[in-house]
């Protein structure tokens, strides 16, 4: 016989099947998106830090544990280990949906808050993880010299992404 116990009909019992093989994945993603029209809704440091923590918690619940969340007054960066059970589009949609709702609950100053419709995300190799983490951590210093739009253009060039200026900004 094949080593499995069979019921009287000759069929292997479900509870005696061999364990399923593991599916393992280690993919790091650097996600970037801005507020609609790059409006500086996130000027307040306390609100921004709380938002970053909230985004991290949402990402973790989506099985995409964050490594670091950062950003400045008009955009965020999320560096995360990407989960196996969700698509990039679903992850981003849920991050934006939940954080948009949360921000609007923070007071009337956020009543008109929206995230931009699009986003950019980039793969990050294990060997480059610390460098990207440092980049996300130093966003405030970085943006004393460069706008979000120039930053995103530089990231797109670095990753050899073609884009159309007419459609990338909203």
Distance between CA atoms of residues 159 and 153, nearest Å: 10
Res 169: pLDDT: 86
Task: Read off the pLDDT of residues 67-82 as tens digits, 9 standing for 90 and up.
Answer: 999 999 999 999 999 9
Task: Read off the pLDDT of residues 79-116 as tens digits, 9 standing for 90 and up.
Answer: 999 999 999 999 999 999 999 999 999 999 999 999 99
Specify whether the CB–CB gap between 33 and 120 falls below 8 A. Answer: yes
Task: Read off the pLDDT of residues 101-157 as tens digits, 9 standing for 90 and up.
Answer: 999 999 999 999 999 999 999 999 999 999 999 999 999 999 999 999 999 999 999
Res 1: pLDDT: 47
The C-alpha angle 23, 26, 30, rounded to 5 degrees, equals 140
Q: Which residue has the tokens 């699009």?
A: 118
Is residue 5 pLDDT above 80, yes or no? no
What confidence tier does 24 reach under pLDDT thresholds 50, 70, 90? confident
DSSP 60-110: HHTT--EEEEEEETTEEEEEEEEPSSS-HHHHHHHHHHHHHHHHHTT-GGG
Res 12: pLDDT: 55
Sequence length of the chain is 170
pTM here is 0.85
Domains of the chain with bracketed CATH:
27-163 (3.30.70.1290)
């Amino acid at each position: 016989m094949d080593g499995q116990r069979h019921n009287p009909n000759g069929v292997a019992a479900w509870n005696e099947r061999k364990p399923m093989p593991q599916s393992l994945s280690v993919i790091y993603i650097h996600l970037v998106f801005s507020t609609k029209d790059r409006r500086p809704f996130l000027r307040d440091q306390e609100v921004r830090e709380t938002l970053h923590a909230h985004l991290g918690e949402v990402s973790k619940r989506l099985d995409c544990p964050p490594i670091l969340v950062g950003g400045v007054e008009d955009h965020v960066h999320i560096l995360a280990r990407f989960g196996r059970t969700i698509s990039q589009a679903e992850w981003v949609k849920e991050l934006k949906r939940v954080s948009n709702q949360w921000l609007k609950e923070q007071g009337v100053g956020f009543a008109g808050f929206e995230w931009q419709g699009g986003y950019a995300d980039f793969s990050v190799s294990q060997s480059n993880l610390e460098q990207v983490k440092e980049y996300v951590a130093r966003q405030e210093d970085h943006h004393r010299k460069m706008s979000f739009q120039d930053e995103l253009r530089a990231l797109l060039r670095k990753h050899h992404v073609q884009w159309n200026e007419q459609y990338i900004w909203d």
